[in-house]
Amino acid sequence: MTQSDARSKVRAFLEKFIRDQDFEDGDNVFALGLVNSLMAMQLVLFLEKEFGVKFTNQDLNLKNFRSVDSMVELLGVRGIIAAV
Amino acid sequence: MSEPNKNDVMTYQKVGVIGAGVMGTGVAQNLAQRGMRAVLVDVSETVLTKARETIFNSLRVAGMFRRDDAPVADPEQTVGMIEFTTDYTRLSDVEFVVENVVEKLAIKTEIYPRLDAICPPECIFAANTSAISITKLGGFTKRPDKVLGMHFMNPVPMKSMVEVIRGHHTSEETLVRGKAFLAQLGKEAVVVNDMPGFVSNRVLMLTVNEAVWLVQDQVASAADVDKIFRSCFGHKMGPLETGDLIGLDTILFSLDELYAAFGDPKFRRCPLLQKMVDAGLHGRKSGEGFYKYSV
């Protein structure tokens, strides 16, 4: 899978939750209040299922999930897609 | 959240949790995270399996919100603090019980005498109900002085305030022990007197129901109703998002309890709410309510 495919999938998932507002790939969606802790589990489970990865407890750090960019980067680090 | 007071003489080690739905699952997780053993009882093995999975995933994700210097708790170890069982007799040595079964009096009526017969005599029963009379539930036991209400908020591990309800026979000692229990969970209490719906749900259920009427009457879309509450009143969530979070089936049951208790038509259920529940649109937990969710 290419980076841009992964990026589109992550964005499409977030857009289901974030109804009222535009956001950039670099935006911290948690800090902006667009994604809350209730959605975090769904986000993590979506990424694991969609990309066939199991995140370690160390991976599960907010800094890896705060933006589309950081999620794509994490998937790169984990070798799911070509590293960013 | 404050740490449990080490000097507190009343520390709880083992707690029974009845019902492995949204609330019971949250209570069991919260207990385990705070180092207490929990016995989570439900009538369904399927529900218990799902509860274990939900708790495990919540614990994994909870690590995301830790402070940078905080150690990563092992979800496997924490979930190991919880015994998942269909066997009520496993409650024979618990010190405190939090009951979270469905908001139907007929079901609760069967459970309290059973708990009364199995649990130690000094064990306190906290009914995690949002609408049913605590005094009435106490009457199903031989220990009404040791029965109180604890209306936890969802998601339980993240909400630090609990509406505590004093039934007619609830003793001062039970309230003190109940507050100590909540302190161990990192929570505070607001104590109110017993009347159906207490404070929170007498207002909230009416609000959610009336918001559903607005959608049914095509005054506004669900998104616009919620937007008005968020943008104009500064609420974190609008009434329909809140209904989806609580569960629309639970909203319906609570309204019915309030209607039965007060005999006041203001608590009449909106037909659209009934229709959605009949269609299996129970909100966040079922994947769809007024909004769609990924489950």
Residue of A16, A20, A40 with shortest CB distance to B61: A40
> What was the pLDDT predicted at A31?
84
How far is residue B202's CA from residue B205's CA, in Å, rounded to a whole number?
A: 6
CA distance B67 to B44: 37
Q: Do the Cβ atoms of B63 and A41 come within 8 Å?
A: no
User: Residue B9 pLDDT > 70, yes or no?
Assistant: no
Confidence of residue B68 (pLDDT cuts 50, 70, 90): low
Instruction: For chain A, say whether B30 makes contact (Cβ under 8 Å).
Output: no
Global pTM reads 0.83
Reported residue count of chain B is 295
Judged against a pLDDT cut of 70, whether residue B2 lies above it is answered with: no
pLDDT at B56 over 50: yes
CA distances from B222 to A39, A47, B253 (A): 19, 28, 21
What's the CA gap between B175 and B148, in Å, rounded? 8
Q: Does B77 touch chain A (CB under 8 A)?
A: no
Best residue of A62, A65, A66 to probe chain B, by most B CBs closer than 10 Å: A62
Interacting residues of B285 by C-beta distance below 8 A, sequence separation 6+ = B22, B247, B295
Contact B294 A42 (CB under 8 A): yes
pLDDT tens-digit readout, B124-140? 999 998 778 899 999 99
Measured distance CA(A41)–CA(A32) in Å, rounded = 18
pLDDT in tens, B227-272: 999 999 999 899 999 999 999 999 999 999 899 989 999 999 999 9
At B144-165, the pLDDT tens digits run: 999 999 999 988 998 999 999 9
Average pLDDT over chain B reads 93
What value does the mean pLDDT take over residues B74-78?
Answer: 92
Q: Looking at chain A, which residue has its C-alpha nearest residue B55?
A: A41
The pLDDT assigned to B65 comes to 80
User: What's the pLDDT at B24?
Assistant: 97
Give the model's pLDDT for residue B7. Answer: 45
Res. B66: pLDDT tops 70:
yes
Mean pLDDT of successive 10-residue stretches along chain A, which has 84 residues: 89 82 88 80 92 90 92 90 67
| Distance, CA of B40 to CA of B87 (rounded, Å) | 9
* B81 in reach of chain A (CB within 8 A): no
Distance CA B94, CA B104 (A): 25
User: What whole-number percentage of chain B has pLDDT above 70?
Assistant: 95
What CA–CA distances, in Å, run from B181 to B14, B186, B231, B246?
Answer: 11, 9, 37, 24
* pLDDT for B295 beyond 70: no
pLDDT digits (tens, 9 = 90+) for B266-275: 999 999 999 9
> Could you tell me if the ipTM is greater than 0.85?
no
CA nearest A43 in B: which residue? B294
Active site residues of B: 130, 151, 163, 201
Residue B64 at interface with chain A, using a CB cutoff of 8 Å: yes
Residue B245 to residue A38, Cβ atoms within 8 A: yes
